[in-house]
Structure 1
Amino acid sequence: MAIDFEIPEEAKKIRLKVREWVQKECIPAEGRIKDEASYKSVLAELRSKARAQGLWLPFVPKEYGGMGLGPLANALVQMELGMSHLGALSMNSQGPDDATILTLLAHGTDHQKEKYLKPLLNGEMRVCYSMTEKAAGADATGMQTRAVKKGNDAYVLNGEKWFSSAASAADLAVVMAMTDPDAPRHQRYSTFIVELPNPGYKIKRDIQTMAVEGPLSHIMGGGHSEIEIKDLEVPAENLLGGEGRGFDMGQHRLAYGRLRHGMHNIALAQRALDMAAEHVTKRSTFGQLLADRQAVQFMLAECASQLYIARLMLLHIAFKAEKGMDLRQENSIAKVYLAHMVHHVVDTAIQLHGALGYSRDTPLAAWYTHIRSQRLVDGPDEVHRWTVGRNVIKAFKEHGTTAGAAGGDLL
């Protein structure tokens, strides 16, 4: 009896449709964007076409206007959308909006869904997530931003936030703050929906990073902001999920974000490898095609091997998600592996392009500076490795083998 790796026919059709969409519409449209006006017009055009073809919010249930895809089909779609920085945006599937949409779907009140979820689903608003703080870093239970109840109708927030992605493009912010410092560590925090702009939520600056940025980076939601929260009054009806639920909801949304990053990393790595293969089949040095040199073939083989492993990781995680199984160990393993994989593949593509790859004449150099963040966002490598390592020890103590924490029972 064989393990069945067959993808359902409907999922194959959706993947092919999205692949054609990205190749024929999104990638060509990249070159048409020159400024804010052209970005807005191009995106509006793409979104209109996408919705007309039924390509909208792949991970959202049909009753909310989405495609209603399960974890497997959505993974296949995301592994196509990541080929272009316009892919996810064209289908309103971009981060950090996507994870917040899932949070609102699961935990939002009827009022919150009507007032905030609906415009997010329609692509009329963008939302950012303000959790990270300088003092806390990767420790989400170390946040110091406070939310104090004001009567029964409001909360007043004070504190600071760091690396709030897409804040400069957002119409809403989802802010995590401490509501009960005396509660158990994971029950001290709550989440609030904040309408922007708001004088109590001040963007102090867009943080400059090592990533190559252009004038459109922050307009498209690719920037990261430092936020000052001062006497920010939030209506009690904007409390999301109830008091003390902030940490749990945050971990849930981050779990999806890690998977989405991984899916897009696979797509980007595939595009980089395609570019490398195209270049070496045309470029000759010292009278011989680069493609005919064994050293070049070995470099391509290593990239192909890593992409193969990465795809299997994500498909297995999608399988576990479909079955409602615990996937936290695999998610952490994959998060770290895929971040390094995309870095290696893009780096190899640059090397094979030579000085052309190092230049800005191809997108490789810009990709290289952006993907370094993958080893930091949604939990740095070290935190995930720490978690994975503890689970390895735990598995051995409980079962006398580490297999359960190392893919020993894949299905």
Structure 2
Amino acid sequence: MSIDFEIPPDAKAIRLRVRQWVHDECIPAEKRLLEGDDYKTVLNELRVKARSQGLWCPFIPKEYGGMGLGPLANALVQMELGESPLGALSMNTQGPDDATMLTILQNGTEYQKEKFLKPLLNGEKRVCYSMTEKAAGADATGMQTRAVKDGNENYVLNGEKWFSSAASVADMVLIMAMTDPDAPRHQRYSTFIVELPNPGYNIKRDIPTMAAEGPLSHIMGGGHSEVEIRDLVVPAENLLGGEGNGFNMGQHRLAYGRLRHGMHNVAMAQRALDLAAAHVTKRETFGKLLSERQGVQFMLADCASQLYIARLMLLHIAYKAEKGMDLRQENGIAKVYLANMVHQVVDTAIQLHGALGYSLDTPLARWYTHIRSQRLVDGPDEVHRWTTGRNVIKEFLANGTTAGACGGDLL
């Protein structure tokens, strides 16, 4: 009996449709933006067309207006959308909105779904997520922003947030704040939905980063804001998921975000490798095509190997998600691997392009400066490796072998 790697026909079909969509619509639209067309006009045209074709909110249930894709089909779709910065945006599946939509869908009251989720699903509004703080960094249980109840009607929030992605283009924000400092460590925090703009939520600046920025970077939601929260009054009905559940909801949300980053990284790496292959099969040096040189072939082989491993990782995680299995160990391993994989493949593509790759005449240099963040966002590599290593030890102590912590339960 053989292991069946056959993708179901319906998942294959939607992957092909999305691949065609990205190549026929999103990549040409990138060129329109570079030529000066208005971003909002271009995006609106893409979204209207995508929605008319049923390409909208892939992971959202059909009863809420989405495509209702399961983990496997959604993974295949996301691994296509990441080829273009307009891919996910065109189908309203961009971060940080996507994981935040899921959080409200799974934990929101009917009032919250109607007032806040509905306009997000319709693409009328955008949302950001304010959790990270300078003082806490990767330790989410170190957050100091406080929410104090003022009678029974409101909470008053005070504190600061750091690196709130897409805050400058958001119409609402989910804020995590401490509601009970005396509770067990993971039950001290709660999450609140706040409409923006709000005088209590002051975006001090979009933090400059090493990423190469163009005129559209922040308009598209690529900014990361430093935020001051002062006497921000939030109605009690905007508390999401009940008091003390903010941390657990946040971790569940980040788990999807890590996977989505990884899926998009596969798509970006694939496009980078395609660009490299196109270049070396045309570029001639010293009377010989670059593609005929063994050293170049070795470089392409390494990229192909990394992409192959990346795809298998994501397919296995999607399989476990489909079956409702615990995928935390695999998720942490994949998060680190995929972040480093895309860095290596894009770096190789730049090297094979020579000075052209270093220039901004191809998208490679912009991608290179952007993807360095992948080893930091949603938890730095070191935190995930620390957790993975602890699990290896736990598995050995429990079962006398480490196999279960490194894919040994695959069968």
* Residue 149 of structure 1: aligned partner: 149
Matched, 1:220 2:205: no
Q: Any conservation in 2 of the 1:36–1:219 contact (CA below 8 Å)?
A: no
SS in 2 for 1:144: coil
1:410 aligns with 2:410: yes
Partner of 1:333: 333
Cα pair distance change 1:236/1:36, threshold 3 Å: farther
The question of whether the paired residues in 2 share the 8 Å contact of 1:35 and 1:215 is answered with: no
Instruction: Say whether 1:313 aligns with 2:288.
Output: no
Q: Secondary structure at the match of 1:216?
A: coil
Question: Quick one: distance in 2 between partners of 1:355 and 1:218?
Answer: 27
Please give the alpha-carbon distance, in whole angstroms, between the structure 1 residues aligned to 2:268 and 2:309: 15
- Could you give the per-residue CA deviations for residues 114-164 of structure 1, whole angstroms, max 9, x where no partner exists? 000000000000000000000000000000000000110000000000000
Distance 1:330 1:124, change over 3 A: same
Instruction: Return the alpha-carbon distance in structure 1 between the equivalents of residues 88 and 23 of structure 2.
Output: 13
The answer as to 2:360 corresponding to 1:360 is yes
**Alpha-carbon distance in 2 for matches of 1:128, 1:51:** 23
In structure 2, the residue matched to 1:160 is 160
Letter in 1 for 2:206: D
Partner of 1:275: 275
Deviations 1:373-394 (A, max 9, x none): 0000000000000000000000
Instruction: Supply the AA of the counterpart residue of 1:278.
Output: A
1:82 — aligned with what?
A: 82
What's 2:298 paired with? 298
Equivalent residue runs for 1:131-210 within 5 Å: 131-210=131-210
SS of 1:33's partner is helix
For 1:171 and 1:381, the matched residues in 2 are separated by 31
Task: Give the distance between the partners of 2:214 and 2:111, measured in 1 at CA.
Answer: 38
Mark the CA change 1:162 to 1:192 in structure 2 (over 3 Å): closer, same or farther.
Answer: same
Partners of 1:307 and 1:37 in 2: CA distance: 34
Kept in 2, the 8 Å contact 1:128–1:170? The answer is yes
Q: CA 1:278–1:34 in structure 2 vs 1: closer, same or farther (change >3 Å)? A: closer
Counterpart CA distance in 2 for 1:385 and 1:36 is: 43
Contact 1:179 1:189 in 2 (8 A): yes
Aligned position for 2:264: 264
Instruction: Confirm whether residue 246 of structure 1 aligns to residue 246 of structure 2.
Output: yes
Match in the other structure for 1:10: 10
Aligned length in residues:
411
Equivalent residue number for residue 29 of structure 1: 29
Q: Deviations over 1:38-63 (max 9, x none)?
A: 10000000000000100000000000
- Residues in 2 aligned to 1:399 and 1:79: alpha-carbon distance in whole angstroms: 35
C-alpha deviation, 1:196, in angstroms: 0.2
2:302 maps to amino acid: E
Structure 2 unaligned spans of 5+: none
1:35 to partner: Cα distance: 9.0
- Residue 31 of structure 1 and its aligned partner are, at CA, apart by 1.2
The 1-side partners of 2:272 and 2:41 are apart by: 28
1:20 equivalent in structure 2: 20
Distance 1:272 1:218 in 2: 23
Deviation (angstroms), 1:34:
4.8
RMSD: 0.8
Does the Cα contact within 8 Å between 1:35 and 1:216 map onto a contact in 2? Answer: no
Q: Return the alpha-carbon distance in structure 1 between the equivalents of residues 200 and 154 of structure 2.
A: 14
Query: What displacement does 1:215 show?
Result: 1.7
Cα offset for 1:36?
9.0
**8 Å Cα contact 1:157-1:231 kept in structure 2:** yes
- Separation in structure 2 between the aligned mates of residue 311 and residue 223 of structure 1, nearest angstrom: 29
The two structures have a TM-score, normalised by structure 2, of 0.99
State percent identity of aligned pairs.
83
User: Using the alignment, how far apart are the partners of 1:216 and 1:82 within structure 2?
Assistant: 17
Task: For residue 37 of structure 1, report the CA deviation from its aligned partner.
Answer: 6.9
Which residue identity is paired with 2:169? A
Contact 1:36 1:216 in 2 (8 A): no
Counterpart-to-counterpart distance in 2, 1:365 and 1:218? 18
After superposition, what is the alpha-carbon deviation per residue over 1:141-200, rounded to whole angstroms, capped at 9, x for unaligned? 000000000110000000000000000000001000000000000000000001000000
Alpha-carbon contact 1:153-1:236 (below 8 Å) kept: yes
Which residue pairs with 2:384 in the alignment?
384
Q: Which moved more, 1:115-124 or 1:210-219?
A: 210-219
Secondary structure of the 2:331 match is: helix
Which runs of no fewer than 5 residues in structure 1 stay unpaired?
A: none
State the Cα distance separating 1:80 from its structure 2 match: 0.2
